[in-house]
Every structure is written in C-alpha cells, then in structure tokens.
A and B are shown apart, each in its own frame.
Chain A
C-alpha cells in the first residue's frame, strides 16, 4: 500500500494539511484537536474552516497551515490531503502539490486511475479497524475521527501525549469518552507507525507560539463589547455574525451578572429582523446606553434607512459587520471584504460613516471596545468591518490586555448641573469648532435641555426647518465632524521595506497575515514594497502621505470591485492610475501565493512567475 514518490515534499514545521470531510460527521472537533495539539508543541498553526451553508451531509474542509515562521495567512496549495469525503475525492486529489501526500480510508479499494502517480499515498482502513475494535455503531462512526488524528500523529512524528492530554481536557468528567477516544487515537498512531515509514512532513517541538492566545474573532468582538461597556444588544441571527452575540451573551453571564441580586447588567434582545435590531440600538443610544448590533451584508442592506437616521440625527450606534460573500444571499459561508461601500456611504442622501478594520481577534477585541468610545464621541454610527475569515476561525493572536485606569469616553453630554450653570444648549450647534454638538439625555432636567430628535432637517436648536441655510449649516458641520474623525480613528500600520522602494502596497483586515508572507516571498525575490495596513476610515493623514510618497501603490482586497481603492480615489482624490488593483473574491481567504503572484505579474518580473500559477 505504501508507495512513496521519489520527489516527496520534505518539510519540518512548515506545510499545509487539508481535511476533506462531510459536515455533520463529527470531524470538526477532531480536526480542531489536531490543530491545538500542534500549538501545544510550540508550533504556530492557523486553521480555517471551509464549510457549506448546511447542517448535515455536504462537503466541508478544514485547512491547517503549519508555520514555525509564524505565517498565519493561507499559503495556497496543499501538502497533505486527508481525504475522507467520497463526494469530493477527485478535486481533493487534484489539489495536492506534486510530491505531496494523500491520506485516506482504505477500507474500500480505490482504483489506480483515481489516484495520481506524482503523490504519496497513505491508506489506512479506518472503517474496518473501527468495526473490529468497537461494538457500538455510534462509537464506530465517531472514533474514526480521533483515530485519523492518532494516525497523523504517528506519520508526522507528533507527541501522542499531547493529543491524549487534549482529549482528557476536552472530555473532562466523562471518563468513558476519554478512555474510548484515547484508545482510538492510540490504535491509529500504532497502525501508522507499524505500516508506514516516517513521511517527509514532520512536526518538531519548538517555542514559536509564545504568549499568544487561540480564539476566533467573533468571540473576541463579543468580549470587546463587554469591556467596551455595551449594555444593550439587539440582533437578528445571520451567518457569519451570529457567534458575536452568542459570545457577548456568554461573557455577559460570566462577567455582568450582579453579585447580590443575580440580575443582568445588560439587555440582549433577539429582534424580529435587522431593521428592528438597529432601531433598538438607536433608541438605546439616544437614551444614553452603549448599544450595538452584529450582522452581515444582507442585514446592512436592511438597516440602511435607520443608519441614515443615526447619522443625521446624530445618535451613537455600533454595528459589527462580519462580512460574507455578496451580493444578495451571495455566499453565506464564504468570506469577502465586499461591504465597504455599502457601509461607508450607507443610506440615502449624503452620508459618510466611520469604519474600523480589525486584522485578527486581538483587534476585534480592541476595536470593538474602541467603537463605543468613537460612537459616543462622534455621535454617529461606527462599523467594525470584520469578516468570516477572522470571525469564524480560531487564530493565534496577541493576548488581550486592558488598562484598568481607562475610562470610557462618553462624549459631549450635558448634565443637569451643566444646564443649571447656564450653559447654552443648541442641540445641533457647533460650539467647540470640531463639528460635534452637545447633547442631552431624556429625563435629565425638569425644564432645561429637552429637544425633539428627528430625521428631518432642522436648525441648530433642533427645531424643524426647511430653510436652505439651516440645512447647509448642518451638512457643513457634519462634514467638519468627519474631518475630526480622521484624528480619532486608529492610525494605519506602516511596514517599511528592507530596501528603499518607490512601490507601495495597501491592504486591510483579514488580508493581513497572507500579506505579511507575500511581502517576504517577494522580498526573497528582490521585489521590495513599503506596506500600509489601513485600520480606519475616514483615512487619516498618514494614508494620504503614503500614497503621495510612492509611484505605484497596489491595493489588495477581497472583493470584485476594488472597494477600498474606490474610497481612496473618492475621498483623497488620488490619480486612479497610481492605485493598482489586486483582487481576490472567490470566497476563500486570500493566500500569500495569490498576492505575491499577482504583484509579480503586474510588475512583469519573470523570475517571480513560479509563484503565480497556484490555486487560491
């Protein structure tokens, strides 16, 4: 059975393993355990679920990038395919790099023509072994998963003890499950050791993980909302954002339950739709509570009218947009960065909104917390522009940190004492020259400070007005407020090239880890680019200076229409010819090879060509 091709890939702590499974088969927890075991060995990994919009029976993949160097993006290609889904067999086999490895359940014979001569084939009769070792049909089915993890441990020279420790941790208190799972892992491990020589891919203990934590971005955003002081959350279930609110709920139960009364220091409402969700957020924001919703593209579309109200009536609101493939229902379980324009200019009339672009779970936490400060300071909607890749995949990230001396910025709110001290109140008057007016909260003062909030035009005293000059005053003030926002949103991260260059690259969000690896691949071939990661919109001065300082700037995005580039051209009036599109939008997370290949091709650098023709 064991046929090892001559040009077998040799790599230690640097390869890509892909698991091809059927969803609903119980493989997810075994696969996750495999990834965690590698982290426990001190080797960084970044796993990604590629899953269908379905509960049972459809193909699903779990791709694990192993990288001691710390590249957490997708590289592209696959070195070892764990092919356990007959439906996708042919495409899975075709996906393997020449010299790569195919692992499969050899209980059923696979004819030679369904294989490839240039790969190494490792067949283990998982189903047959399970049928022999376990009597219970459920166990036979489920233990197959942990058995292939054990077998992989044997092939890759992993420490089986680490897998065993994880089993004990996962099934703590359920001794029968621990025993069965350990046994299955051990059987797989021993079988692999006995029947196959060590393969070219190896895992070796090291210390490259450090203090980092392993968490998904949606959980981090939910936690950020707790730390950011959100008390009201209104939402409607939608993939891939649902787990933001699930995490917020569970962290609230843990951290926000009043010790004495057991009552909740928060309110979470599952609304009837996204319109009601954002309406509740705006009502709460108007009344002085920090409120947010989490949604995805279709929800953003439904919220448009209310977002305009939040902008024009100047009511703080926070919207977490976990982006997926659009338009329409699009690709609900695939990732994209395609809501930028829909959010930046959401709603009819002249609007512009503050956007934040987290790169990983760490920034999902910090930026969600920061979004509440920004929303109240600026009295406007603030969007956290995350996506499915960050949101629904666990990622190694810098540990969370919080400064206990940090106070929330509640913005310009007049108290009863302020009103009594004779401060003049004009709800929409620019008193401070920054475009941000003062507001009062309902119930504050018996006879001062009340005003009527409306989405219709009004004068600076909040009185209904159809006078052109009143409207223009207000719009110019809103424009000034947006200028003020430039100094408040997070500054970009600039990564200078090792050698002086007139070429730059701009990217944002989940592209970050693949970009880092792509820059290294390009640099190794002598192509140097200064890189800038946009972290907020409106673009601050550093972004403008960066583009001005380069001859050409690549703009790398995960959408079809170059939406960030459109924003750059529209807001900063750059020459469009200067901004070169690099676009990836098939719904899979962008890869290092795709970026480096596209840039190399654009630069017409023949030496770099081998990097280009790889699958996404």
Chain B
C-alpha cells in the first residue's frame, strides 16, 4: 500500500498533449492496492492511453463492479465520473449509462471473479448486444479481496498459495468474447506496457464492444511457483500475434516499417490501427481464424496476446436501436411529451 501523496510541483514542466493536459491531469487518487499489484500497472497504462488520445477527462465515464480490479477506477482519471457498482453487474450499469448519453467514452474495469463467475451472464450479453464500451478484465485467476480463492479463469492444475490444486476447467474470456460477437478483442499482460497502451487506445476509439483481457498477477495470492498467472509464468508463455500502434486521424502516418509485415485497420472514427505482425499469417479481421489460433496455441500451453480480432465495420447498440443523435439525457419536454392534444385524441379512441 502506498501512502505517499504524489507531488504536483513538477506539473508546469511536464509535457502536454494536444488539448493541453499533462499526464498528471489524468491521474486519480492514491492506490490502496498491494505494492507491485499488476492492476496498478494497468491503471498507469489507462492513464497513458487516455493522455495520448487527447481525450478530455470529463468526457470519459469509468464503471466497475466489485473486487480489487473494480476499486481501480478511483485511482485513475480523477476528473471523470466513476461508478463502482455491484459485483458482476458493471455491464448492465454501463449499458444504461451509454443509452442515456451516447457522446461519452465508456470504460468498464472488471476482474476475473467479477466477470467470469458472478458476472458471466452480464459479460456475455454486453458483448453480444454491441455495447460501445471498452471492457477491461484485470485477470489474476484469484479472489484477492477475500484472500486467495480460485476464480473461474484459474487454469486446471494450477496451484493456490495454500497448495490446493484447481480441478475445474478455466473460462477463457477472450474465447467467449470472440464467440459472443465482440468486435475488438485483445489480450495483454500488465507487465507489457508497450503492448497494452496501444491496445487500450485502439479499444477506446473502437465503436462497439471492445474486450481486453489483461493478465495481471496478484503479488499477494497468486505469484508463486505452480501458479499459471504469476509474473514468471506469463512472461515465459507469452505468445504475441502482433504489435499494435494507434494513429489518430490528425497524425501523419509513419512509414518507417518494412512493407509486408504491417497491416492497417481503419476504424469508424478515422483512427488507424497499425498491426505489426509477429505471428505467421495471422489475420486479425477473421473471427474464425482468431478463435482457431487462440485454441491451437492454448493447447500448446501458450498465452496468445495482442489484438486478436477487430471488425472495422462494427455497429453499436445505438445503431441497432436507431436512437437519435442527441443524447437521450438532453431531450426535453418538447421531444418527450406528446401533450394534451394527443391525449384528447387518444381518449376519444378509447370510448
């Protein structure tokens, strides 16, 4: 636990992004998580991503469920509204919030217990419903706040700190997200900021359900030998399919890469994802291929990371519902209330 407040004295000399904010402007309260917790690295990656995207902090809304991971939205972007809701139910709260105001950017933070166990139903339906939400699961395979029980993403045969072997099959949320219709699916590692920051940036610019599973070792309860979610294990078994760069529409596109090893994906908002291929013949726009690749590598004991799937023509829930462009929370009596004359006519039809 870190008790030392962060000094703000250096703010003046810090670099500013295109809309004049320093990286500091995107920070939150001091984290109360354990020192070395992977989740804090993810919070830092979120701060970096939002800073680099030049997103106004107050135009972002942060939502979470319950658990260690769900506490983190208090620890980044303090100028955004946040909602720490109910265990496993972040997706529904995010859905309602998104329906009320389509103009904000929504970031949902959850954990493996919050999403793969108690909240698997809401996770599934948010993915299939096309909710425009960046959904990050901080995945450590363990219940931290209740001190070390296995979660549903813990691998079969992995060992708990107390020496118990997990006999249940794991749920792979990435595989589920692909099957359920998420239109941006990635996996990363809290210790790999270079991979994680662009992945989050791409997700925040994506207009549809964007899911990122971030392996985030629990230093207190799941970082020992025999765990398959420890720092050492993940580093050894990480198999990246690509390296992502996000180019915003205003930026000049860099061309300092070898042709043939790079793939461009233009998202709806004009931002471009540059995918530097690492895996052979990996096509991130083919859902079936992504699912096959994921399972083939998993069978070999490898954890596939990177941007596994993106649908350039993704549609979101508002499109499906054909809602007006104006956020629903800005509509007034003039648009909402049919008035007395309509009621008189209705009365007449009911006699």
Contact = CB atoms under 8 A, between A and B. Distances in A.
Contacts of B337: 226-227, 229, 402
A442 B84 contact: no
A171 interface: no
Contacts of B350: 213-215, 399
A61 B280 CA distance: 70
Interface string A246-277: 00000000011010011111111101110111
Contacts of B343: 227, 400-402
Given A271-B92, A442-B61, A284 B322 contact: no
Contact of A272 (B59, B100, B125, B317): B125
A265 B324 contact: yes
Nearest to A289: B100
16 contacts: A213-B350, A214-B350, A232-B96, A234-B96, A265-B323, A267-B323, A267-B328, A269-B99, A279-B86, A280-B96, A287-B104, A289-B96, A442-B101, A453-B82, A455-B85, A456-B84
Q: Is the interface of B mostly helix, strand, loop or mixed?
A: helix
Contacts, number: 226
Contact of A283 (B57, B94, B323): B94
Given A271-B92, A453-B82, A263 B325 contact: yes
A294 interface: no
B89 A276 contact: yes
A400 B347 contact: yes
B339 interface: yes
A136 interface: no
A400 B350 CA distance: 10
Interface of B: 56-59, 61, 63, 73-74, 78-86, 89, 91-101, 103-104, 121-122, 124-125, 129, 317-318, 321-325, 328-329, 331, 333, 335-340, 342-343, 346-347, 350-351
A263 B335 CA distance: 12
B93 A229 contact: no
B79 A452 contact: no
B93 A232 contact: no
A288 B101 contact: yes
A452 to B, nearest CB: 4
A288 B329 contact: yes
A337 B81 CA distance: 39
Interface centre among A229, A275, A450 (most CB of B within 10 A): A450
Contacts of B124: 272
A441 B104 CA distance: 11
Contacts of A255: 338, 342
B336 A231 contact: yes
A279 B85 contact: yes
B340 A276 contact: no
A440 B337 CA distance: 24
A482 B28 CA distance: 34
A212 B321 CA distance: 36
Given A264-B321, A305-B86, A450-B81, A232 B122 contact: no
B190 to A, nearest CB: 22
A289 B74 contact: no
Contact of A282 (B74, B93, B323): B93
B336 A446 contact: no
A502 interface: no
A602 B40 CA distance: 69
A256 to B, nearest CB: 7
Given A286-B97, A289-B100, A279 B324 contact: no
Contact of A281 (B81, B96, B122): B96
A408 B331 CA distance: 11
Given A399-B347, A402-B337, A453-B81, A446 B97 contact: no
Interface centre among A226, A276, A400 (most CB of B within 10 A): A276
B83 A283 contact: yes
B329 A289 contact: yes
B328 A265 contact: yes
A288 B99 CA distance: 10
B100 to A, nearest CB: 3
Contacts of B317: 269
A609 B80 CA distance: 69
Nearest to B89: A279
Contact of A444 (B58, B83, B103): B58
Given A445-B58, A450-B80, A452-B74, A279 B325 contact: no
A594 interface: no
Interface string A434-471: 00000011111111001111111000000010000000
